[in-house]
């Protein structure tokens, strides 16, 4: 007996409908604790995989379970040591491609090398584009990232990119702390490039925003030139995508206090905290440093002033929606 048109359509519908049984979460060595939290949120187990080193330091990756036909998500921020974690990610991608995974999505809460996104001087590389090309060639079908250093970085990938925002996580915390609709509050961008981020947070809190104009005489060195906006007598909330050495945030906070700010709270998505940044922040005039856990933070960097907000629910919900072909943008209807 032949299949009717209606019966054929029903079969196609069943084939196209995603099944949560095919969802697999795998983690590299960059941040397994975060991957475990995401897996628990989704109600799945972390996939079995070996990721070690040979005696000579070369990386060894082996997927210990079948990946054929599965929708695989690899959670791997490319944080320090960035080169090891990037190479491990590339090898993992190759392993899953050769294991016949149906789709491989790379979840990169923090995208390393993102600051090298343009040529500033002659004969400089655009390393952020190089890393994007490597991820593509290695076999990724999709990328998920949180607060890329510049949103234009999405264009470096020749595949779909789901750009998640850490701002709503930070804004909800600040609202709970009583910063919403307070006339004494002002959101401050530490540089001109972060104006959009500051504007979004200011809208969420119902307050004004200001901008610090600065110059960089050399990498990781900043000089405050001017502050555009009223900060005298205000409770200032500085927002940036990352805090690395802390020089930009600390210098900006000092300038705000010098211009009459009541207090300064610093926020960021990615707490890189290189070198003695954590200790310098603890000793600074900043009242509190709020960040999101996109990067593992060593115990000696978890200073008293540091507040770490969880990201696993955001990442888990994004993974669930991607797997079920649902909208990601709906997560941020109230954010910009």
Let me know whether 305 and 171 are in one domain: yes
Same domain (yes/no): 145, 9? yes
3-state secondary structure of 163: strand
Residues 192 and 216 in one domain: yes
Query: Do both 161 and 171 map to the same domain?
Result: no
Using only the alpha carbons of the chain, give its radius of gyration.
22
**Residue 228 and residue 107: Cα distance in Å, rounded?**
37
Which of the four pLDDT bands, split at 50, 70 and 90, describes residue 13? very low
pLDDT in tens, 243-279: 999 998 999 999 999 999 999 999 999 999 999 999 9
Is the pLDDT assigned to residue 5 strictly greater than 50?
A: no
Same domain, 138 and 232: no
Residues 138 and 177 in one domain: no
The whole-model pTM stands at 0.90
Considering the domain architecture, whether residues 24 and 161 belong to the same structural domain is answered as: yes
The count of domains in the chain is 2
> Do residues 140 and 217 share a domain?
no
In percent, the amount of the chain with pLDDT more than 70 equals 91
Before 133, cis peptide (omega within 30)? no
Do 35 and 173 fall within a single domain? no
pLDDT at residue number 217: 63
Indicate which residues carry an active-site annotation.
214
pLDDT at 139 > cutoff 60: yes
4 has a pLDDT exceeding 80: no
pLDDT at residue 218 in the model: 66
74 and 210 assigned to the same domain: no
* Token code pair at residue 290: 């709020």
Task: Tell me the average pLDDT of the chain.
Answer: 92
Chain position carrying tokens 């979004």: 200
Phi, psi values for residue 69, rounded to 5°: 75, 5
List the domain range (segments joined by +) for residue 291: 167-309
Distance separating the N- and C-terminal Cα atoms of the chain: 56
**Tens of pLDDT, residues 269-310:** 999 999 999 999 999 999 999 999 999 999 999 999 999 999
On the CB side of 102, CA atoms within 13 Å amount to 11
User: If we measure between CA atoms, which residue out of 114, 113, 159 comes closest to residue 136?
Assistant: 159
Query: Tell me, what CATH number does 94's domain have?
Result: 3.40.50.2020
pLDDT surpasses 50 at 14: no
Confidence of residue 21 (pLDDT cuts 50, 70, 90): confident
**Residue-wise pLDDT tens digits, 70-89:** 999 999 999 999 999 999 99
Mean pLDDT, rounded, for 112-123: 94
What is the rounded average pLDDT of the residues 211-228? 74
CA–CA dist 73, 70 (Å, integer): 9
- Residues 23 and 136 placed together within one structural domain of the fold: yes
Cβ(177)–Cβ(210) below 8 Å: no
Which pLDDT score is estimated for 137? 97
Based on the fold, state whether residues 113 and 240 are members of the same structural domain: no
55-69, 189-203, 208-222, 241-255: segment of lowest average pLDDT: 208-222
């Amino acid at each position: 007996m032949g299949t009717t048109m209606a019966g054929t359509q029903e079969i196609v519908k069943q084939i196209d409908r995603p099944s949560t049984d095919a969802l697999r979460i795998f983690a590299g060595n960059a941040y397994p604790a975060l991957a475990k939290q995401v897996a628990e949120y989704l109600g799945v187990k972390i996939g079995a995989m070996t990721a070690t080193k040979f005696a000579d330091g070369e990386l060894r990756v082996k997927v210990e379970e079948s990946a054929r036909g599965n929708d695989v998500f690899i959670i791997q921020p490319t944080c320090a040591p960035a080169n090891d974690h990037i190479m491990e990610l590339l090898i993992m991608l190759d392993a899953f491609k050769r294991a016949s995974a149906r789709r491989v999505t790379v979840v990169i809460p923090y995208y390393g090398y993102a600051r090298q996104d343009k040529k500033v001087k002659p004969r400089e590389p655009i390393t952020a584009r190089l890393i994007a090309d490597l991820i593509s060639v290695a076999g990724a079908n999709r990328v998920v990232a949180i607060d890329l250093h510049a949103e234009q970085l999405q264009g470096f990938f020749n595949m779909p990119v789901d750009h998640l925002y850490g701002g709503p996580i930070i804004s909800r915390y600040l609202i709970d702390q009583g910063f919403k609709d307070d006339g004494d509050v002002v959101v401050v961008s530490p540089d001109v490039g972060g104006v959009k981020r500051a504007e979004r947070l200011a809208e969420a809190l119902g307050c004004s925003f200001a901008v610090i104009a600065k110059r960089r005489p050399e990498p990781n060195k900043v000089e405050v030139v001017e502050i555009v906006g009223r900060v005298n007598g205000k409770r200032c909330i500085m927002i940036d995508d990352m805090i690395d050495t802390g020089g930009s945030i600390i210098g900006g906070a000092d300038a705000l206090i010098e211009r009459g700010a009541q207090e300064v709270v610093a926020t960021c998505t990615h707490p890189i905290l290189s070198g003695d940044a954590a200790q310098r922040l603890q000793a600074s005039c900043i009242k509190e440093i709020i960040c999101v856990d996109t990067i593992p933070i060593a115990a000696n960097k978890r200073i008293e002033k540091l507040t770490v907000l969880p990201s696993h629910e955001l990442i888990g919900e994004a993974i669930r929606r991607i797997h079920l072909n649902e909208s990601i943008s709906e997560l941020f209807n109230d954010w910009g």
